[in-house]
Structure 1
Amino acid sequence: MPSALEYFEEIAKIPRPSGHEEKIRKYLKSFAAKHSLECIEDAAGNIIIRRGFPSITLQGHMDMVPESSAPFDFLSCGISTCIKDGWVCADGTTLGADNGAGVALMLSALTNLPDTPLECLFTVDEEAGMTGVEVLSSAVLKGKTLINLDHENGNSLLIGCAGGVNTEAVFPKIRTVPNEQWYTLYISGLASGHSGIEIGCGRANAVKLATEFLTRIKAEQVSAFSAGTKCNVIPKEAAVTFSAEGDAASCFAEYCAEVKSLYAGTDPEICMTLIAAEIPAVAYTADFVQALSECRNGVVEEDSRGVITSSNLAAVVDEPEGFRIITLQRSAKNVSRDALSAEIAFVFREAGAEVFSHSSFSGWLLAEDSPLVLRAAELYEQLFGRKPDIETTHGGVECGMIQEKYPEIQIISLGPTIEACHTVQERMSVQSLEETERFLFALIAELQE
């Protein structure tokens, strides 16, 4: 029977960026038909595959974050994978182990445990807003225990996550007569990373670097501004064309030296370039830049266990009618999440933007001394001769929204070790995937008893 690794290599060939899960959905329905399993597709495109009358539900998401170091058609092309020194890697793109590994583990369980009643929930659009689980029916799942497979540390069990909310703003483009002196600033080479997992690492943010420089030199006009990609990715690149009075070049040299010194340990490959630009045909006032400079970014609150509350100033999208600003606030406390979102919304509104929030999701926490955690930890130690770490994450997983819909269900999360999620350096440990597969099968058997 195919292993989780074999299923993952097969899944990697299927294009599945967030919002475009048609091909992986077709694959899953074909899998269900081939194995004579019940298959349900809901209005959002979530897939539930079920055998018998299950007490256990496995869950993960179909989509992946599409990032690449060179132009790549994620809608048409699968991911090229290879194994290097015990790690599954991609070639210049994100690997999609987040959460292709979870999908592969579910398919392996359905295949290799043919006599076990199981329910598997494959959700859509987790990476772009959790819209799939947001509209999941509160009456469709049958399991009493849910094992989420979107964790990224094979040495631990995940028992809690942060909640989050997207706060977006659109600053209208206010046309003005172009000044005489124009420049284009390019920023690249930042380490980037997952805005939940790596937000506490002190890495540089391309939007912040650009706006802080524009604020320092008192930029008066812009003609173009784009930066970042996804709400849950720390922006690694920015490009802005602007005008400013005075010697921007000498100010830039000083600023560039400061930035490289400040981020030498976290972003050693940072590259900043300033070149003269032609006077554009159309220019816009740069008043909104100050609001971006003032916008909270990075860690807002933390304790000995890690980050509690944060914000990611994720992207600037240059649209025909305005500059769209994308941010994502996270917190283990819903009240802190909402307060930070409101603070950022206030800053943007005061600067003249239209602001709206969406895709709010709650956190989730399972008690460390709950029977599910104790049984899972004991079994893990029996299998591998070491105790698992018990963790919570500042990243968002779908467990919180599932828990809201199914308050009686017990939820725990596990998964193989995956490094550098949401970046082109993403890689997954082969040994960890194999151990996770073994542990999952044993845990399913344990909980069936």
Structure 2
Amino acid sequence: MSTEVRALEPRALWNNFADLNAVPRPSKKEERVVQFVKEFGQKLGLETIQDEIGNVIIKKPATPGMEDRKTVLIQSHVDMVHQKNADTNFDFNTQGIDMYVDGDWVKARGTTLGADNGLGVASIMTLLASTDIPHPAIEALFTVDEETGMTGALGLKGGLLKAEIMLNLDTEDDTELTIGCAGGVDINASSTYQPESVSGDVKGYKLSIKGLTGGHSGMDIHLGRGNANKLMNRLLHHATEQFGLRVGTIDGGSLRNAIPRESFAILAIPAGQEEAFKAFVQEQTQILKQEHATTDPNLVIQLDATEAPNQVLPTEIQGKLLRAIYACPNGIYRMSPDIEHLVQTSNNVARVLVQDGTSTIQCLTRSSVDSEKMDLAAAIKSALELAGATVSFSGMYPGWTPRPGAGIVQLMSDLYKEKYKGEAHVNACHAGLECGIIGANYPEMEMISFGPNIRGAHSPDEKAQISSVQKYWDFLLDTLQRIPAKV
């Protein structure tokens, strides 16, 4: 772990972040980090609770003189997205994140940094351990499994929390105050096929798409970045029609909430078509690089000779599969007609895996309008079912309806203007935040989300801005001092 990071200011926050990042914490495997957080609270002598789903709640009384203020819930999630570059040798299940300082940014070597939402967790830890920071009574909520279904927030029961105000620390721009978010649903499609032996004289090739920018499938979906699954499918579909290409395997994308950066396919090409196929790939590479020159300048499409696959998809099934993926919308489906620049509905074709007689396609559909979210999901389901897949929905979570008139929104907007001589961007976001889910059980709680500048979340390019963390931390401390008295 870099000593440079531990020397940054605010030092207590960065040291807590470094300690947290030394603990492996993949979604759905949070046992170690949950124990870490529990022991942290217990060592401080604070009331520490773990609920049935695995969330941890730590309660800290108000500092002297602030006992009359409203209790504040401060919330972040402990899990992180695990993404790494293909050439990075790293085991997320056993290794801590390898961080370093690059100018005004903290980065990780070849992997996601875990600033999403680790900086929020570290901020809460710092508040809990502090002896000189004035604050009202605090309920700290550390949720599990936010990144792969928000099951921690969904499993949180009513009655455990008494706070009247919630500060969620999971926004990634220090000029924004988020007061609403999109809901989501996972689309899972699977089918089986009987692999066929390759007939005739064929040549084997591995087609690789890599170097795409990727990113968060909610916060970055409006940027028009390339999706490796869609680009791979585009090439395979047209090459099938032109050269009689046969697919052995496809392996693209990884996580439902990350824009796919890489896809790989093992292919069989009829003998005599090799040169034409190579020319086709070269031509399409230039076209795709031109299309994505702004969003994905490091796009690489590589074709390598390899051993021909022993078995391939049956011709009819291959055709239906490629056409179904082609039909799946990807990216922005509809912009909000009510909130300027807000993506209302989108879809991310997140995962395509075809091998050993099974095909799997996974999408994450998001929308701030629940009916439109399910309508788009139904359209995608229909296309995949026409190809013979069995399709199910899972991981449904609600959006968060904005309440621009809430007291905490006005308080923090005024404070931002006073401190930074400009208007905060009060908005709703297209990502999924846990506020809407938690609000279902605590409907009277006022909620807001904010945080420091984090760029490239859900990708190995993730980085956190040091100066922004300082700004955000100062803003958080001043906010706590201004929490109003109980009515």
TM class, shorter-length = over 0.9
Which residue among 128, 151, 160 is the counterpart of 2:180? 160
Is 2:424 the partner of 1:376? no
* 8 Å Cα contact 2:347-2:365 kept in structure 1: yes
Q: Is the 8 A contact 2:135 2:480 kept in 1?
A: no
The CA distance in 2 between the partners of 1:306 and 1:57, in whole Å, is 27
User: Which amino acid in the other structure matches residue 50 of structure 1?
Assistant: K
Alignment of 1:32-43 (within 5 A): 32-43=41-52
Q: Structure 1 residue 233 and structure 2 residue 255: aligned? A: no
- CA 1:223–1:159 in structure 2 vs 1: closer, same or farther (change >3 Å)? same
Identify which of 148, 173, 192 aligns with 2:214: 192
Displacement of 1:168: 1.0
Residue number in structure 2 paired with 1:3: 12
SS at match of 1:365: coil
Moved more, 20-29 or 106-115: 106-115
- Using the alignment, how far apart are the partners of 1:31 and 1:268 within structure 2? 43
Residue in 2 that maps onto 1:356: 392
Offset at residue 225 of structure 1 (A): 0.9
Please say if 1:92 is aligned against 2:92: no
The residue number in structure 1 matching 2:156 is 136
Q: Percent identity?
A: 34
| Corresponding residue of 2:27 | 18
Distance in 1, Cα, partners of 2:231 & 2:458 = 21
Q: Over aligned residue pairs, what C-alpha RMSD do you find?
A: 1.9
Partner of 1:295: 328
- Report the residue type matching 2:292 in the other structure: Y
State the AA in 2 paired with 1:289: L
Q: Following TM superposition, by how much is the alpha carbon of 1:166 offset from its aligned partner in structure 2, in angstroms?
A: 0.6
Matched, 1:63 2:104: no
* Equivalent residue number for residue 118 of structure 1: 138
Q: Is the CA contact (8 Å cut-off) linking 2:78 and 2:121 kept in structure 1?
A: yes
Secondary structure (helix, strand or coil) at the match of 1:28 reads helix
Q: Which moved more, 1:247-256 or 1:260-269?
A: 247-256
Give 3-state SS (helix, strand or coil) of 1:110's partner: helix
Report whether the alignment pairs 1:441 with 2:459: no
Cross-structure match for 1:255: 284
Larger radius of gyration: 2
**Shift of the alpha carbon at 1:250?**
2.5
Could you tell me how far 1:319 is from its partner in structure 2?
A: 5.5
* 1:264–1:232 Cα change, 3 Å: same
Q: Distance in 1 between matches of 2:39 and 2:245?
A: 57
Contact 1:86/1:430, CA 8 A, preserved across alignment: yes
Matched with 1:408 is 444
User: Which whole-Å deviations, capped at 9, do the CAs of 1:31-75 have from their partners, x for residues lacking one?
Assistant: 111111111112221111112487210111001111122121111
Give 1:414-429 correspondences, 5 Å limit: 414-429=450-465
Distance 2:440 2:194 in 1: 43
**What corresponds to 2:230 in structure 1?**
208
User: Pick from 57, 60, 63: which aligns with 1:51?
Assistant: 60
Judging changes above 3 Å, is the alpha-carbon distance between structure 1 residues 435 and 115 closer, same or farther for their aligned structure 2 residues?
A: closer
Which ranges of 4 or more aligned residues in structure 1 deviate by more than 6 Å? none
Specify the SS of the correspondent of 1:447: coil
> 1:274-313 maps to which residues of 2 (within 5 A)?
274-285=303-314, 286-287=318-319, 288-303=321-336, 304-313=340-349
TM-score with structure 2 length normalisation? 0.88
User: 1:394 aligned to 2:464?
Assistant: no
Take 1:75 and 1:151, find their aligned partners in 2: how far apart are those partners? 26
Deviation at 1:278, TM superposition (A): 3.0
Task: Tell me the distance in 2 between the aligned counterparts of 1:237 and 1:24.
Answer: 29
8 Å CA contact retained: 2:112, 2:460: yes
Structure 2 counterpart of 1:236, one-letter code? R
Partner amino acid for 1:198?
Answer: D
Identify the residue that residue 74 of structure 1 maps to in structure 2: 92
Residue-by-residue CA offset, 1:186-234 (whole Å, 9 max, x unaligned): 1111111111111111111110111111111225532211011100111
Structure 1: distance between partners of 2:90 and 2:146: 21
Question: 2: CA distance between counterparts of 1:51 and 1:173?
Answer: 57
Any conservation in 2 of the 1:5–1:430 contact (CA below 8 Å)? no
